[in-house]
Structure 1
Amino acid sequence: MSVETRRTLTVVIPSYRRLDRLNDIADRYLDQGADEVVIVLDGPHPGWESALPEREGVLVRELPENRGLALARIAGLEASSGEIVLAVDDDVEPGPGLVDRHRRFHTGGDTVLQGYMPVTVPRPRGRDQAPTYLYARDYETQVDGWRRGDSSTILNSLWGGNVSLPRDLYLRAEQVKPSERLEYNEDLDLGIRLLRLDATASFDEQARSSHHHSRGLDAYLRECFARGGAVADLEKRWGERPAQLTPTVTIPAGYNPVLGWVQRRIAARDSDGLVQSAVIVVYRLSGIMQNWRLQDASARLLRRALIMRGYRLARRA
């Protein structure tokens, strides 16, 4: 790409309580030729000035309160000056040439590039790492869909952490509907808005990064419950439930009736009960015994049950 046609690119990194990794991540993007890195601290981070010393090419914005990922990204968007915005997560490590792959893609028009960010799974597997292994498999399943699908497939399943788009397109998406706090599916919400603008999207497997996902069971259960509330929030926001989220809050036809009963029983309670506790015991014991198949099955069972509970309670509120 000639100097005359080189488009400027800003990397936006929202972060929450991960100060220790931000300097290294910012340096990696600058070393790859990013024109600017904007770090958004999502809420007060006392002492960040010493942890993130001022330097050329890096802007730090500390939000006065925790606003959630979507609004933190918008704060970064507003502070950015690049023609292209590359939105990444603070637990995603850029692969070689990532910035250049995103920059070269954007030659004009309302286009979005979904990069590839496979999950780095721990090996050997520990006794409480089923959430990360499930996340990694779910992600690769979605990637298979992007490989076979079209532009709308990508935007209807946008997966943040390694996504770029023109700054002006992002700003126009805010005019369709301004971002609001969602505890999950922020990327899907952005994808829906971009579809309203007739934007197009591509998936580039060579725009590669590594996702250092980490969840133990307790954090995973909280996340599952929050996902249910986010489904209800999106349903209210758009006047209908996005079809791709229906399988997360309903038990499909033909599903094992016993497992369905367990999930409905857990979902019907407003707090932990005997059935949920029993499944958690199975999860813990299977981890000790390294019965990964059983542990994964119990984690999946808990996932839908708690998403259903979170959805029910959010709709009732």
Structure 2
Amino acid sequence: MISVIVPTHNRREVLAKKLRALENQPGAFEVIVVADGCTDDTLEFLQQYKPPFAFHFLEITPGLGAANARNRGAGMARGDILLFSDDDVIPQPGWIEAHQKAHTRPRTVAVGRLELPPALRGTGAAELKGPRAFWWNITGNNTSLPRALFEEVGGYDPAFSGYGGEDPDLGYRLMRAGARLVFVREALAVHEAFDYQGQAIEKARQAGAAHVRVWQKHHDPRIAWALGVHPVLVSLKLALLPSFKGLLGARGDYELAYAWGASEAWNPPSAS
């Protein structure tokens, strides 16, 4: 059985859309929603929701971030396979079955295909179409793995409590543990990125800083190059993007903010 782990924070409307999309999925699975510091009507909705699949939810107050919420959800799971998928990622037909079929060999980490709605394409929001996936593509959006492997590497690091960092940190540790990484084209989900348009630049800045912290944690220069936060890359981006970011369209602003966030993490301002 697959256990679908869904962290959520004050996004009842899009969470409801996700859960209703899951109602049409065949296969043996359960869904665990972790309401992380919700102050809207999410809890009232979850208390009244009666789906056709096995369903559990828990509340965390105060909210401690996605990494902690995913760990808590995994701790409740009864399935041998954990499928992490955020509240604004809408599964398409055959999603559960595709992830189930991917686990024919041990220590497999399956990364599904992730697409964006037209309004968000080119903004820097996460999108993955294959044909391959790498450790830095392992995210809480559309990734499944054996529960035993997740526990072996220690799960998500709750020290990454802000935006960004927890996914590549987990992906790197899974790679080091010898996980078999596969891209599953049939496991399609649409990343609606519910609040992305209004917060894209600030999220990019936070992600740049968080990815520097991933490198600082593991001290492997491959991380800095793969995540685009090596000081050489950051310096080049800061030198060139102010003049040429327009050539990248909407993504130019995202890339510049990402570089600024990384630069600030490399060179934190001294205390006055």
Common topology (TM > 0.5): yes
Please give the range of the TM-score, normalised by the shorter of the 2 chains. 0.7 to 0.9
Distance change (3 Å), C-alpha of 1:164 and 1:313: same
Query: What does 1:117-128 align with in structure 2 at a 5 Å threshold?
Result: 117-122=114-119
Partner of 1:126: none
Partner of 1:162: 142
> C-alpha offsets along residues 224-254 of structure 1, whole Å, 9 cap, x if unaligned?
2212321232123213451335634545499
Partner of 2:228: 247
Partner of 2:262: 308
1:41 deviates by 1.1
Partner of 2:22: 29
Distance change (3 Å), C-alpha of 1:304 and 1:28: closer
Q: Which sections of structure 1, spanning at least 5 residues, go unmatched? A: 1-7, 123-128, 264-278, 284-291
> C-alpha offsets along residues 151-202 of structure 1, whole Å, 9 cap, x if unaligned?
xx62243243111111111111217x85432521322111111122211110
- Indicate whether 1:174 and 2:174 are aligned: no
Partner of 1:229: 209
Task: Tell me which amino acid in the other structure corresponds to 1:222.
Answer: E
CA distance in 2 between partners of 1:225 and 1:262 (Å): 14
Task: Give me the identity figure in percent.
Answer: 24
Distance change (3 Å), C-alpha of 1:310 and 1:17: farther
The structure whose Rg is larger is 1
Partner of 1:135: 124
- Indicate whether 1:110 and 2:110 are aligned: no
Task: Tell me which amino acid in the other structure corresponds to 1:164.
Answer: S
Distance change (3 Å), C-alpha of 1:78 and 1:30: farther
Distance change (3 Å), C-alpha of 1:42 and 1:110: same
Larger deviation, residues 99-108 vs 301-310 = 301-310
User: What is the RMSD computed on CA atoms of the aligned residues?
Assistant: 3.2
Partner of 2:84: 87
SS at structure 1 position matched to 2:7:
strand
CA distance in 2 between partners of 1:186 and 1:254 (Å): 24
1:98 deviates by 0.5
Structure whose residues are more often helix by fraction: 1
Structure whose residues are more often strand by fraction: 2
Distance change (3 Å), C-alpha of 1:135 and 1:10: same
Distance change (3 Å), C-alpha of 1:220 and 1:47: closer
Partner of 2:61: 64
1:92 deviates by 1.0
Partner of 1:125: none
